[in-house]
Amino acid sequence: MSADTLTLTARCLCNSHHFTTAVPLSSLPLHATACHCSSCRHITGALYAADTPWPGDAAPVRDSGLASYPFSDRLTLRFCGKCGTAMFWESRKNGTYDVFTGALDNVAHPDGGLVVRIAEHGFVGDTVDGGAVGWLRRPHGEAAEPARVWLGRRGESEEVVWPEKWPAELSSEVKAGEVEEVPVRCRCGGVDFVLKAGEMQRQSRRAREKGEEWGEVHGRTLDPETQMGVGTFDPCDSCRLGAGVDFFHWTFPFLRFLSFKEEGERGFPKTTEELWKAVEGGEEKRFGTLGFYRSSEDVQRYFCKRCSACVFYATDLSPDLVDLAIGVLRAPDGARAESIIFWNFGEEMFYREDMMGGWREGMLRAVEKEAEKWRVDRGYPKNWRRVKREEEASGAGMKRGDDA
């Protein structure tokens, strides 16, 4: 690599596929577009997909053996069939490739500049509630130009003036606690389950009324005041690579609150071991196209084998629950599913160290700041765990002052 170029590598989670190219510094940052259409959300499991034209040779990608999914009459999705990472859009017209930004390594620009810039958001109208745009409007900080927001195809639809118009004019009337069941469905429909949100909230409420220790019973998965599922931001390398998206979002239902679309004599597995054994055995047809990749000895990452959608993260260390990808929820109120999810907007993200030292570090800090501003501007309360930590930190600070 010469002094005036930067080496970019795109890879999948299992590293079965990786592609490297040298990019002139003068061509950076790469211009990326985030798409919020329902199809992109349901094909990644995230709240959006972001891509930029691949600056390297197309031939290695074309000849790589990546799995293919015919996404539309314009695009074919190319993904790793072993671990599910969405890696490239292939133009069906001219054979060019756009790379998913989450598949790119977190290399640093030698001059401290941007490597990838999310410049536009498309098809935000599909989200109903604005989706992730609330914290991705200025994903590179106040000094950078804010990303443009389009209701449909970029440059061909109405451009949204943020946040004056959104989401007041396009928001849903569905309220928290009014939704009984939410479909869990990938883009191709090969994975099709149900989250029993109403029952989840009722059981949690009854547990509190009986005086059970809430934090021990449901603290991993539900907010204690609303009994709604917790929604988190996840920038870790494994989740980023698993979906091909820079920021992933999970909620955490107990397995007993998941069901098949049509229940039979054998219900949905109640433990992670039962789940992976059933999927691995292939005897239960109602799992459809669900498959999994073991990213470590005790971790299973579930995805659709046909369209690549990330669905679950499961670990034997938490045998009774799974991390559920929010992007495969079909909630009636919109992409954020706030009728059933209480978000931890504005917290420092767990595993944030994975983004440090490379081009994503500035984006991480900007998104944390924007998510907190989004929370404050909307009057959205703090997540209960954050309140508890802040109270504990404040108490510890007062004690240190008393001791002094």
Q: Domain check: are 97 and 145 in the same one?
A: yes
Chain segment 244-296, per-residue pLDDT in tens = 999 999 999 999 999 998 876 678 999 999 999 999 998 889 999 999 999 99
Residue 336 pLDDT greater than 80, yes or no: yes
CA 354 – CA 373 distance, rounded (Å): 23
Beta 18-24 vs 49-53: how paired, if at all?
unpaired
Q: Domain check: are 143 and 204 in the same one?
A: no
What pLDDT is stored for residue 398 in this prediction?
44
Q: Domain check: are 115 and 253 in the same one?
A: no
**Domain membership flag for residue 390:** no
Residue 156 pLDDT greater than 60, yes or no: yes
Whether residue 140 contacts residue 366, with contact meaning beta carbons closer than 8 Å, is answered with: yes
Q: Would you put residue 179 in left (φ > 0), alpha (ψ -120 to 50) or beta?
A: beta
111 versus 220: the higher-pLDDT residue is 111
Residue 164 pLDDT greater than 80, yes or no: no
Q: Quick one: tokens of 215?
A: 């934090």
Confidence class for position 225, pLDDT limits 50, 70, 90: confident
What pLDDT is stored for residue 395 in this prediction?
74
Query: Which residue among 149, 169, 198 closes a domain?
Result: 149
- Range 344-355 average pLDDT: 92
CA 251 – CA 220 distance, rounded (Å): 10
**Domain membership flag for residue 142:** yes
Q: The domain that contains 263 carries what CATH number? A: 2.170.150.70
- Range 128-149 average pLDDT: 91
Q: Domain check: are 200 and 338 in the same one?
A: yes
156 versus 168: the higher-pLDDT residue is 156
- Phi, psi for 304 (deg, rounded to 5): -80, 125
Query: Which residue among 129, 149, 169 closes a domain?
Result: 149
What pLDDT is stored for residue 325 in this prediction?
98
Q: Domain check: are 140 and 220 in the same one?
A: no
Q: What percent of the chain has pLDDT over 90?
A: 75
Query: How many domains in the chain?
Result: 2
What pLDDT is stored for residue 195 in this prediction?
97
Residue 331 pLDDT greater than 80, yes or no: yes
What pLDDT is stored for residue 163 in this prediction?
63
**Domain membership flag for residue 220:** yes
**Domain membership flag for residue 402:** no
Q: Domain check: are 202 and 326 in the same one?
A: yes
Termini Cα distance of the chain: 56
Chain segment 8-62, per-residue pLDDT in tens = 999 999 999 999 999 999 999 999 999 999 999 999 999 999 999 999 999 999 9
What pLDDT is stored for residue 153 in this prediction?
93
What pLDDT is stored for residue 403 in this prediction?
47
CA 246 – CA 47 distance, rounded (Å): 11
What pLDDT is stored for residue 384 in this prediction?
81
177 versus 101: the higher-pLDDT residue is 101
Chain segment 285-330, per-residue pLDDT in tens = 999 999 999 999 999 999 999 999 999 999 999 999 999 999 999 9
283 versus 127: the higher-pLDDT residue is 127
What pLDDT is stored for residue 221 in this prediction?
77
- Range 100-124 average pLDDT: 96
Residue 400 pLDDT greater than 70, yes or no: no
Q: Domain check: are 100 and 203 in the same one?
A: no
Domain residues for 214? Answer: 182-356+377-382
**Domain membership flag for residue 171:** no
**Domain membership flag for residue 61:** yes
Residue 199 pLDDT greater than 80, yes or no: yes
Task: Identify residue 178 by its one-letter amino acid code.
Answer: E
178-182-188 Cα angle (round to 5)? 155
Q: Quick one: tokens of 307?
A: 């369209």
**Domain membership flag for residue 339:** yes
**Domain membership flag for residue 163:** no
Q: Domain check: are 69 and 128 in the same one?
A: yes
Q: Domain check: are 346 and 255 in the same one?
A: yes
Question: Among all chains, which residue has been given the structure tokens 């990644």?
Answer: 44
- Phi, psi for 78 (deg, rounded to 5): -110, 125
Q: Domain check: are 315 and 267 in the same one?
A: yes
Confidence class for position 393, pLDDT limits 50, 70, 90: confident
- Range 217-230 average pLDDT: 75
Whether residue 123 contacts residue 27, with contact meaning beta carbons closer than 8 Å, is answered with: no
Mean model confidence pLDDT for the chain: 90
Q: Domain check: are 201 and 140 in the same one?
A: no
Residue 217 pLDDT greater than 90, yes or no: no
Q: Domain check: are 135 and 219 in the same one?
A: no
- Phi, psi for 104 (deg, rounded to 5): -85, 140
CA 12 – CA 84 distance, rounded (Å): 8
Residue 359 pLDDT greater than 90, yes or no: yes
51-252-386 Cα angle (round to 5)? 90
